[in-house]
Structure 1
Amino acid sequence: MDRRTVLRATVAGGAAAFSGSIWAGAASAAPAQPGPSPYGALRTADANGIQLPANFTSRVIARSRQSVPGTSYSWHDAPDGGACFVAGTGWIYVSNSEITPGGGASAIRFDADGGIASAYRILSGTNQNCAGGATPWDTWLSCEEVSRGYVYETYPQGGITAVRRAAMGRFKHEAAACDPDRRVIYLTEDESNGCLYRFRPTTWGSLSSGTLEVLVAGTSTSGPVTWARVPDPSATSTLTRNQVSGAKRFNGGEGCWYADGTCWFTTKGDNRVWAYDAVNQRIELSYDDSLVSGSAPLTGVDNITGTRSGDLYVAEDGGNMEINIITPAGVVAPFLRITGQSSSEICGPAFSPDGTRLYLSSQRGTSGSSSGGITYEVRGPFRA
């Protein structure tokens, strides 16, 4: 298999430095290696063309330019980043649309037993909405992946107009991850010489004002870091990534996920997964395909999400259309594989609030075009 693996993120001094994190107990910087999945081997493809472990099933919940089942709402093109939110006794899955012009985001509401109750638009008139992130106050940050793009705060429940959050900076936004402990939001930048940012709201829970900072470090792939204020987040005359001397460069920032003191983010240009230890303000190179012994089981690192069990799920843009699991024990293995869609990418992995369902999209489906997107739900005995 032509894919990559992930190093366990650790900091100097061993496991104590990651105390409380989802990777507490990882005591060395040895790379995680391919191994048996906790769910077992993938079986033959199901009727939807998805290979899954035993006891897991899939269903299609939406197709681009077709009505979401049980509704009259036409699903958007090129479904990308997504997240789930509690909604009464059910939940909502939100998905971006990575097209220009048009973009925006849509939502599907599910009732308590998983039936589709409604579908609707929550953001319109934006461009190339790629990834984003959920906030602790149950809004969705939809990010424009264009030069000097914006972040839009949207409302999954519907009925409230999305708001452009200019204070979060104008750059080629990719993903966002909220850190409620330090009351900041981490932001990735999809440029070959991009940066990692964090936004400090003036008031936690309000994104109308605040301070944009950029990560500053040397050229090393691990070690201590600092943060510096970006003088002009609007990038009126100078791009944000070029305003602070010493800002660390990352090759194509993609997915971003925060849990228990660690912000995980991916870079597609060099096929890496990074860990920022927010407690001790250090970064570690957590994954690099050149550090794998033998064939690597993960390629095309892109969107990333996690679970309460501490498992990370990394979706592939390319590769062989897999989502790979990375366990706290340092094992990386395929969790699912979509067949017959080699011209697509997997986007928007997100778990339902109870952790029993995983949502994801194949951005271009079997057609290889943005109008062929397919959004899926996978059910099964996920690790608690």
Structure 2
Amino acid sequence: MSATRRQILARTGALGAGIAFSGSLTELFAGTATAQSMGQRGYGPLVPDPAGLLDLPRGFRYRVLSREGDPLRSGEGKVPSNCDGMSAFPGRRGGTYLVRNHENRTHSRQAVPRVRDLTYDPGGEGGCTALELDRDNKVLSERVAIAGTSTNCAGGPTPWNTWLTCEETEFRAGEENYTKDHGFIFEVDPYDPRRTGAVPLTAMGRFQHEAIAVDPGTGTVYETEDAFEKPFGLFYRFLPEKPMGGRGSLRAGGRLQALRVPGVPDLSTIQDPGATFDHVTWVDVPDPLARETPIRFQDFGPQGITHAQKLEGCYWGGSCVYFISSFAHRKDGSAADHYGQVWKYDPKRRRLTQVVVFGPDTDLQLPGESPDNICLAPSGGLMVCEDGDGAQHVFGLTRRGEVYPMARGRQNIGTPQKPEWGEFAGVTFSPGHRTMYVNCYTPGTTFAVTGPWGH
């Protein structure tokens, strides 16, 4: 997970800054419902939890669905550590299925158990687990959904109700304990994981994947790359051979392309919200499997390709795809500094627009991920997971730019003298919008939060 703007500002001595970001917040909520009362001004102050797990506003309640190290209900082993990206899918009789990533690399506290027919690489410790819940959030089942992968950070749901889990790594066979190459996307069926197995979607590229979003009209899959070193990541689109073909159709292959903005080799240099580029192009990736050279190093011709540091969040809203650069720093090799950009790509117009840019003179009251690990809330706003120093929160962000605390983690993973709290991840809502689900990354814990969402 990324460092937040709050962390970065503290490190650079900019905590005294504090003028508002530039851009249009309403763009962030494109395609969400408009509500008159649902969280428009927040739900009040957080009430300390006597159990020391999760503080919530008065009237809200939580249930612990799953905790790292506890036995899986399937009997396959223990609940894995490092709970990360997650999505909710409609279940039986008003229930919900959850698919949860586990961002394990090697030597993790609790690896994803290797299960026959669901393990890609016996040397991998990452993967996903799937939970089935009834309408009252009682856990009916919990099982391994895929194993033997690495560094499963984020991903995204498909219109046909599967989860695409992304490996945020480029490990090769023979490195660490791995017996196969990593850096792929895998499809996971939340209802019956054996129907998808552990098959890498190789045509979608081998790189440090972060998140995806699917155009529900065309089936085009957009992908972000969170590369850790210069040259930084690219923004991709995958054109499937069988668009909107349903479960398993992405195995049929397709074309992987990278975004080129003419004259803009680095998106960090654009810090003018509303700036529009009408002549962006998509360039075929020479070698999607990165057999010899990582994709971002490959030769895209004399015009080059467009890079950006910390490309992370990606979601579909309205008729456009939105993607986020969490920050950029010259000291890391970026062409300019910023503390967050939000970009919108309109496929029908082939138009790229900068929506929001943060800092360095940033409003520190805005939530920490710029936003990054986010969920479009039923209120028409956002829920944002914080990942930084000090107290860890899930913040709400209304359409009017008002920020309110929704949850605060209370599990101290430090010491009484130097307390630390695990970051939040994977925030998502049930299909009926009755429950917010969210993970604590460390110690791995999955919560279901219910309450007066409609008041």
> Which shows bigger deviation, 154-163 or 261-270?
261-270
Work out which of the two has the higher radius of gyration on C-alpha atoms and give 1 or 2: 2
Counterpart in the other structure of 2:258: 214
**Which amino acid letter does the alignment assign opposite residue 187 of structure 1?**
E
Alignment CA distance shift 1:169-1:139 (3 Å): same
Which of residues 56, 60, 68 is equivalent to 1:64?
68
Residue 273 of structure 1 and its aligned partner are, at CA, apart by 4.3
User: Is contact 1:189-1:254 (8 Å) kept?
Assistant: yes
Length-normalised TM-score, structure 2:
0.72
Q: Provide the rounded CA distance (Å) in 2 between the counterparts of 1:374 and 1:23.
A: 28
User: Any unmatched runs of 5+ in structure 2?
Assistant: 10-19, 106-123, 171-181, 329-338, 413-419
RMSD across aligned positions (CA) = 2.9
User: Is contact 2:63-2:448 (8 Å) kept?
Assistant: yes
Residue 98 of structure 1 and its aligned partner are, at CA, apart by 0.7
Deviations, residues 218-257 of structure 1 (Å, cap 9, x unaligned): 2424421432221221112332223334432222222222
Counterpart in the other structure of 2:320: 262
User: Any unmatched runs of 5+ in structure 1?
Assistant: 26-35, 366-372
Counterpart in the other structure of 1:30: none
Which of residues 332, 336, 357 is equivalent to 2:403?
332
Alignment CA distance shift 1:97-1:228 (3 Å): same
Length-normalised TM-score, structure 1:
0.84
Counterpart in the other structure of 1:177: 213
Counterpart in the other structure of 2:435: 357
Counterpart in the other structure of 2:283: 228
Q: Provide the rounded CA distance (Å) in 2 between the counterparts of 1:7 and 1:183.
A: 32
SS at match of 2:203: helix
Deviations, residues 109-156 of structure 1 (Å, cap 9, x unaligned): 012332111011110111111111110111111111111600001111
Alignment CA distance shift 1:381-1:198 (3 Å): farther
Q: Provide the rounded CA distance (Å) in 2 between the counterparts of 1:277 and 1:362.
A: 31
User: Is contact 2:374-2:384 (8 Å) kept?
Assistant: yes
SS at match of 1:167: helix
Counterpart in the other structure of 1:237: 292
Q: Provide the rounded CA distance (Å) in 2 between the counterparts of 1:275 and 1:41.
A: 32
**Which amino acid letter does the alignment assign opposite residue 235 of structure 1?**
A
Alignment CA distance shift 1:150-1:72 (3 Å): same
Counterpart in the other structure of 1:194: 233
Q: Provide the rounded CA distance (Å) in 2 between the counterparts of 1:38 and 1:338.
A: 21
> Which shows bigger deviation, 350-359 or 1-10?
1-10
* Aligned counterparts, 1:21-36, within 5 A: 21-22=30-31
Alignment CA distance shift 1:259-1:188 (3 Å): same
SS at match of 1:207: helix
Please state which structure has a larger fraction of its residues in strand. Answer: 1
Are 2:366 and 1:297 equivalent residues in the alignment?
yes
> Which shows bigger deviation, 45-54 or 232-241?
45-54
Residue 282 of structure 1 and its aligned partner are, at CA, apart by 1.6
SS at match of 1:213: strand
SS at match of 2:296: helix
Q: Provide the rounded CA distance (Å) in 2 between the counterparts of 1:115 and 1:357.
A: 12
Counterpart in the other structure of 2:185: 151
Q: Provide the rounded CA distance (Å) in 1 between the counterparts of 2:315 and 2:67.
A: 26
Q: Percent identity at matched positions?
A: 31
Residue 58 of structure 1 and its aligned partner are, at CA, apart by 1.5
Counterpart in the other structure of 1:314: 384
Residue 183 of structure 1 and its aligned partner are, at CA, apart by 2.4
Runs of at least 4 residues off by over 6 Å: 3-6
Deviations, residues 337-375 of structure 1 (Å, cap 9, x unaligned): 21344352211111111111111111113xxxxxxx111
